[in-house]
Amino acid sequence: MHSKLVKKYNVAGPRYTSYPTVPYWNNNTFSLLNWKESLIKSFNESNNDEGVSLYIHLPFCESLCTFCGCNKRITKRHEVESPYINAVLKEWQLYCDVLGSKPKIKELHLGGGTPTFFSPKNLKELIKGVLNKGILADGYEFSFEGHPNNTTKEHLQALYDVGFRRVSYGVQDYNTTVQKAIRRIQPFENVKRATEMAREIGYTSVGHDIIFGLPFQTLEHVKHTILMTKELLPDRLAFYSYAHVPWIKGNGQRGFKDDDLPGADLKREQYEVGKALLSEVGYHEIGMDHFALSTDTLYQSMVEGNLHRNFMGYTASKTQAMIGLGVSSISDSWYGFAQNVKNIEEYYHLISEDIIPVYRGHILNEEDLVIRKHILNLMCQFKTSWKNEYLYFKELPEVLLRLKEMESDGLLEVYKTGIAIAKKGYPFVRNICMSFDLLLQRKKPDTQLFSMTI
């Protein structure tokens, strides 16, 4: 990647797990009532067809990783497990009461925090409690995030027994200097053991998460991590840029100096070299920052044009409605977003009062829905079209003007009724989406809200 392009387009920008992005949600017009109405509308439209997705946030970790931007509670007290599970199951019951009939569950993902902080027995109880209120959809997909250091055979077996077939492990980097800086010490042997155990039990998709742009991380470190990854050949990979936003995430990302981080040119080189190494052994680039073998459902979904992106990242199982359970979880009805409170004690209090614990959200208007579709197209298919009259919007000529320079730089091609991102432009997909982001264009933030795009 040419260093001039990196310098030119390396600006702060959203990752577009949603549109509108969270800082542009209109909380003034949002209420729990209109959130419920948007969810019921979506449920009635889609439950018989595709079902719903569930994301369950399990926030507890025994130690703090300084690269992490997730909502977590650091504790070694495992007696917190049962009260939290009980609260999540009650929240699920509150949602089932709103929906009025049994939801068809198409996708379920456990995120964190550290889901494997919980005992195998408690995880199994949680999933059984959720499934008792729903119906399994055809082709359902259950997945969880596992910590290589504490994911046991018992964890994997217990979740396999209740339908899980996909697990992803946070690897980040195998170099000890980098691991010490991010406070995530895990030898290759631990990742190897966790990966092989999952395959022996019968998991059909094992993923690894690798991050570039970490403190003290060199190009050689990234090469080494990719070469070690080749030995295990996970079915899919998330290979993405570290998002350094300590002004938002607080002390967790203050464990090192800004000067310890690689510059933009080195980060892009890390990405390009890593991507080339992955390509050599058969990985295909999926959307932004994701890779998969041709045998994995994520690749197959991309080929078939069914790839979807939501708050869980890229997924092969698109559903119109996604319900988030647990502290800080975000739900998506397609017509609206809602985020749960972030404090565990406040979460418990609202649940005890039989209140769905959302504290902010956004109901999408017609313009939002059109722009959301374009950004999803760009993020998932690297192209979009306004051939359908519904997808034309009055500011489109202004958007095309903003894209002129990127077109001149060979990042995309503009047609009469659409655009297509060139391979050269894949690393800049966030920048291209920003040109479509009408809310961002109308009101640039006074302070930096997002990580850098490169």
Q: Is 184 annotated as a binding residue?
A: yes
Q: What are the tens digits of pLDDT across the range 251-296?
A: 454 557 788 899 878 888 898 899 899 999 899 999 888 999 999 9
Name the nearest CA neighbour of 381 among 348, 355, 419.
419
Q: Is 243 annotated as a binding residue?
A: yes
Helix H, strand E, coil C: the string for 421-450 is: ECHHHHHHHHHHHHHHCHHHHHCCCCCCCC
Q: What are the tens digits of pLDDT across the range 376-434?
A: 999 999 999 999 999 999 999 999 999 999 999 999 999 999 999 998 898 899 999 99
pLDDT average, residue stretch 109-132: 96
Give DSSP secondary structure letters for 53-81: EEEEEE-EESS--TT--S--EE---GGGH
Euclidean distance between CA atoms 375 and 435, whole angstroms: 10
Q: How confident is the model at residue 248 (pLDDT cuts 50, 70, 90)?
A: very low
CA 334 to chain centre: 16
**DSSP H or E segment with residue 276:** helix 264-280
Q: Is 93 annotated as a binding residue?
A: no
Q: Residue 247 above 70 pLDDT? A: no
Name the nearest CA neighbour of 89 among 59, 45, 134.
134
Q: Is 209 annotated as a binding residue?
A: yes
Q: Is 172 annotated as a binding residue?
A: yes
Span of 32-41, 240-249, 268-277, 305-314 with lowest mean pLDDT: 240-249
Within a 10 A sphere around the Cβ of 448, how many other Cβ atoms? 12
Q: Is 69 annotated as a binding residue?
A: yes
Span of 48-52, 64-68, 102-106, 164-168 with lowest mean pLDDT: 64-68
Residue type present at position 229:
T
Euclidean distance between CA atoms 173 and 151, whole angstroms: 18
Q: How confident is the model at residue 47 (pLDDT cuts 50, 70, 90)?
A: confident
Euclidean distance between CA atoms 114 and 62, whole angstroms: 8
For 404, the token pair is: 């002129």
CA 209 to chain centre: 11
Q: Is 161 annotated as a binding residue?
A: no
Q: Is 176 annotated as a binding residue?
A: no
Domains and CATH numbers, the chain: 18-363 (3.80.30.20), 366-442 (1.10.10.920)
C-beta separation of 278 from 237 below 8 A: yes
Q: Is 447 annotated as a binding residue?
A: no
Euclidean distance between CA atoms 434 and 388, whole angstroms: 22
Q: Is 65 annotated as a binding residue?
A: yes
**Would you give the end-to-end CA distance of the chain in angstroms?**
11
Q: What are the tens digits of pLDDT across the range 193-236?
A: 999 999 999 999 999 999 999 999 999 999 999 999 999 999 99
C-beta separation of 103 from 134 below 8 A: yes
Euclidean distance between CA atoms 369 and 363, whole angstroms: 10
3-class DSSP state for residue 34?
A: helix
Q: Roughly what angle, to the nearest 10 degrees, separates helices 366-381 and 429-436?
A: 160
C-beta separation of 313 from 319 below 8 A: no
Q: Is 380 annotated as a binding residue?
A: no
Q: How many helices (H) and strands (E) does the chain have?
A: 16, 19
Q: Is 134 annotated as a binding residue?
A: no
Residue type present at position 397:
P
pLDDT average, residue stretch 59-77: 86
Q: DSSP alpha helices (H): ranges in 79-184?
A: 81-99, 120-131, 153-161, 176-182
- Count of all residues that appear for the chain in the document: 454
Q: What are the tens digits of pLDDT across the range 183-195?
A: 899 999 999 999 9
pLDDT average, residue stretch 39-60: 92
Q: Is 259 annotated as a binding residue?
A: no
Q: What are the tens digits of pLDDT across the range 7-35?
A: 888 787 888 989 999 999 999 999 999 99
For 155, the token pair is: 């964890």
Residue type present at position 192:
K
For 353, the token pair is: 């009062």
Q: Is 112 annotated as a binding residue?
A: yes
Q: Is 313 annotated as a binding residue?
A: no
Span of 176-190, 246-260, 435-449 with lowest mean pLDDT: 246-260
